[in-house]
Amino acid sequence: MIMTLLIALVVIIGAILLVVAVLAMRNRDPLAEMRNNAASAPQRDPFDEVTGATEFGPDRLAPGAIIVYGATDYVVRGTLVVQQGPFTWYEHLLDGGDGASWLGVEVDEGQLELVWWTTRKQALHPQSPLDFEGVTYHEGERGHAQYRSIGTTGLPQSGEMRYIDMADSTGELRLGFEGWANDDSWEMSTGRVVLPGEFTVYPAPK
């Protein structure tokens, strides 16, 4: 009699555990699991996936780094980390040479792109096409993004920006417009695509 009761008790407990397991499976939130898995997964550094790109990654190119370009040494005074959705790119303010220069660094679709930007004082209204200094530029992209300022950039530590990117027919010459916060005005820069081999980078001190 006792043995029969024990067997019945074991069967009942097993049935209860089975029901609990089934209910737990039904109540799972697959989207939450995906988010948790994504959050716990190690973030990939896009600079590690492109040959030669790590030289210009954020671990090396940051305030305090030195860039040798031509016969001139440039010191990185500040860096803007710009984010738009899943995309991140970097704009480094350089001290050296004539005028205000920025080096734009981005890994896009598995390709490293470097653009040497020079700030211009002309107050042009962005439109496409736009003729400037004998070059015709067409709009390629525009949007809004969030930025974070590191070092000396002349901007708040963080904020929102808007941008318009334009290029000539070859894609090698660029014209950029950027606006900050609630200011309706635009800052204009001319740029040109440069190659990694044109630089020597001495990393920022840790």
Question: Minimum mean pLDDT among 13-27, 48-62, 66-80, 112-126: which range?
Answer: 13-27
Its pTM stands at 0.75
Q: How far apart are CA 72 and CA 114, in angstroms?
A: 18
Helix (H, G, I), strand (E, B) or coil at 173: strand
Q: What is the extent of the structural domain holding 25? A: 1-39
Non-local CB neighbours of 50 within 8 Å, separated by 6+ positions: 107, 110, 111, 112
Judgement on whether residues 34 and 58 belong to the same structural domain of the protein: no
Judgement on whether residues 14 and 58 belong to the same structural domain of the protein: no
Residue 187 lies in a domain: yes
Tell me the pLDDT tens digit for each residue of 6-31: 455 444 555 555 544 444 445 444 43
